[in-house]
Structure 1
Amino acid sequence: MHLEIAQSTPTAAAMARVVQAHYPLGDVVAAEFLRRSFNQVYSLTLAGGRRVVARLCAERPRGEPRLQFEADVLEHLRARGCPVAASLPNTKGDVAVRITLPEGEREVMLFEHLDGEATTDLPANVEAFGRGLAQLHAAGEGLQSDAPHYTLDLDHLLLRPLQHLLRAPTMTADLRPQFEALGLRLHDRIAALGELTQVLCHGDAHSDNNFITVNEAGDRQAVFFDFDDTGPGCLAYELAVYPWWLHPRNVDGVWSEKALARWNCFISAYQAVRPLSDADVAALPMFVAVRQFWLLGEYAGRVPVWGSQAMPLDYLQRQVKVLTQWEGLALAVPGLAAADASG
């Protein structure tokens, strides 16, 4: 009997053998499986003590991994002095290795290991995160790459995820038109704002995809990793990922004083490097909701791996209420009027 496999999980020892066989780095003496989420991630230690990180790419609703573009982005940012976890070429000079698993071929990409401390709620760290993201956007200007890439526009972030969501096995005939109406209203409100600032986005900058380092003089700097969502896109979306991360994503969600303080530290530090336009400020709270639609679409697209109860009916019912509440979400931006998602 042939059994179809949705997604398998190689052991850390197996990943060590892959890296040792395909990368010019010498012996791998220790390996650890770090996490299984959207991808599977491993930490490997080489004979000389050097550490690297291997990412086994998973099938994704947003389309095939754009690994060459990701590598080009990292090389471009590194060349401009932006601290990022650079990708490491294999013995053939390629950016990834294709391995055969029970479900088919998947790609492994290898990166430098970064040290540092978590951003947490320490004001100095949050400021370093906001300042570092602004510097990353400045460094991203002028990128030259012909590789296929994601474009973080409303089609990629909202409309296509909405279609994945509407096809979820736990979706009901009652909820489907509610989600569709919410998504289309959100799309039209953002479109009505006109032209928004475009940057080379990290794509997932919620403070857990960077560390903070401190030099001998006590200066703090953000170092970034996990660029598998990178691509050109709306600055307002990029900046909305952090308040989305901070805001309670439940029906009665209310900003805590701690969360508000973190948001103020972050956006003030960002603006000190790169001021925001009025249109971008107006779009910010709307893109918080866009981010939630993106996440729901990603979850719906992973049902074959995670199971239908990753999105049970009561969860979907709560999401309608959350997204309805977020239609009136306001985000204060120091020095500017509060942005209001109601438009």
Structure 2
Amino acid sequence: MYDDAFLIRLEGGLRSALPRWGLSEATELKLLTISENATFRAHDPTSGRDVVFRVHRPGYHSRAEIESELAWLTALGRDGVIATLTPVLQADGSLIADLDDGGTIRHAVAFGLLPGKEPAEGEDLPRWYRELGAINARLHAHAKNWQPPDGFVRKRWDYDAMLGEVQLWGDWRAGLGLDAEGRAVLERTAELLRDRLEEYGTGEERFGLVHADMRVANLLVEGDNLSVIDFDDCGFSWYLYDFAAAISFAEHEPYVPELQAAWIEGYRTVAPLSDEDCAILPVFIMLRRMLLTAWIASHSETPTAQAMGEDYTQGTVELARAFLATTDAAESERAAS
């Protein structure tokens, strides 16, 4: 899907829509990332304006879902909750443009540019995850009190959507390189996750509107400031799932416990977080890891999936073994007491 011809066609379609945002023909377009969607940076030398465009992958989010994402972003900016991208209106006052890609309609949206760069592993990540914890707490507080507009609709990231029957990102059983032994380990893990999540519940204090993808690639550091971008996957899920998403693709790294401790510390500077909440974080980490394993299998054409490949699946199995062993040990200790 993402060959040179496709990218040239995609850029051409976006270029034809530039006047809708008041950008000149001289505007320079640079591809930034491709994952679910394609993201471009635009610089108009005529006006000096800089804009970030997101061209949506067909069949993932409906227009109503995109409008709902932008409504929450607008509210967050208006209420001063966090630093994030601001949606940019077209000349006609609308936020979404439809691009005709050979008969396929792709939705495109624009955002103002934020300064900063992705925090690197060697740049004191615990410091930024402490700040991220505070950001998450403010975001969750806003979600609990905000009244969405009529027609607000976003995906529900519950167990069924991730590992159950709905499979929004594909089936983890199709994990690249997954053998019968690994599948048996993940089957047992999935069952345990389902049971733990049912026990934890989806009460309004635990489940609501979340960002759902605050991984390092969606963070921007500028001086002492941390910004969060890309609300494309925001939806309804457990609030603590935000931490699991924040360590996407790094769940196996030895520094994760330090990041978790920093995130909890930062969260508690804004809102309470019980010991029960902290204790279930490994469940959400394992849930996210299995979801990403499914995503890699169902999005194997993307650069991210190609970089991860079968090694990520095997790492998922190893993490699942450790997760099961820890759970079994805890159960044995409770039974003995």
1:158: which partner in 2? 163
Q: 1-side partners of 2:97 and 2:118: how far apart?
A: 30
Q: Is the 8 A contact 2:163 2:171 kept in 1?
A: no
Q: Determine the structure 2 residue equivalent to 1:55.
A: 54
User: Are the equivalent residues in 1 in contact too, given 2:10–2:101 (CA < 8 A)?
Assistant: no
Q: Partner of 2:213 in structure 1?
A: 204
User: Which 5+ residue runs of structure 2 have no aligned equivalent?
Assistant: none
**Which residue of 226, 229, 237 corresponds with 1:222?**
226
Per the alignment, in what secondary structure is the counterpart of residue 105 of structure 1? strand
Secondary structure at the counterpart of residue 85 of structure 2: coil
Per-residue deviation, 1:128: 2.6
Q: Name the SS for the 1:91 alignment partner.
A: coil
Query: What SS does structure 2 have at the residue aligned with 1:212?
Result: strand
Give, in whole Å, the separation in 1 of the partners of 2:276 and 2:50.
43
Q: CA deviation at 1:177?
A: 4.5
**Alignment correspondent of 2:246:** 242
User: What corresponds to 1:147 in structure 2?
Assistant: 152
Q: How does 1:326-341 map to 2 (within 5 A)?
A: 326-328=323-325
Q: Aligned pairs, how many?
A: 317
- Asked if 1:88 corresponds to 2:88, the answer is yes
What secondary structure does 1:285 align onto?
A: helix
The farther-off stretch of 220-229 and 66-75 is 220-229
**SS of corresponding position for 2:53:** strand
How far apart are 1:13 and its partner, in Å? 5.4
Aligned-residue sequence identity (percent) comes to 22
Code of the residue aligned with 1:229 in structure 2: it is D
In structure 1, distance between residues paired with 2:266 and 2:71: 27
2:278 to 278, 281, 305: 281
Contact 1:28 1:44 in 2 (8 A): no
Which TM-score applies when normalising by structure 1? Answer: 0.78
TM-score, normalised on structure 2? Answer: 0.79
Contact 1:211–1:224 (CA<8 Å) still a contact in 2?
yes
Most deviating of 296-305 and 281-290:
296-305
**Cα gap change, 1:50/1:143 in structure 2, threshold over 3 Å: closer, same or farther?**
farther
CA contact (8 A) 1:241 1:291 kept: yes
Q: Which one of 264, 268, 292 corresponds to residue 267 of structure 1?
A: 264
Q: Give the SS at the match of 1:286.
A: helix
Over aligned residue pairs, what C-alpha RMSD do you find? 3.5
Contact 1:286 1:327 survives alignment (8 Å): no
Deviations 1:128-185 (A, max 9, x none): 3322222222233313132321122222233244862335686556654543332122
- Equivalent residue runs for 1:1-343 within 5 Å: 8-10=6-8, 14=12, 17-26=15-24, 28-46=26-44, 47-59=46-58, 64=62, 66-82=65-81, 83-102=83-102, 104-120=104-120, 121-122=123-124, 123-140=126-143, 141-145=145-149, 146-159=151-164, 160-161=166-167, 164-167=171-174, 175-195=182-202, 197-214=206-223, 220-248=224-252, 255-256=254-255, 259-303=256-300, 316-328=313-325
Return closer, same or farther for 1:191/1:299 CA change in 2, 3 Å cut-off.
Answer: same
SS in 2 for 1:10: helix
Of residues 31-40 and 127-136 in structure 1, the stretch that sits farther from structure 2 once superposed is 127-136
Q: Secondary structure at the match of 2:91?
A: coil
Structure 1 residue ranges without an equivalent (≥5): 215-219, 331-338
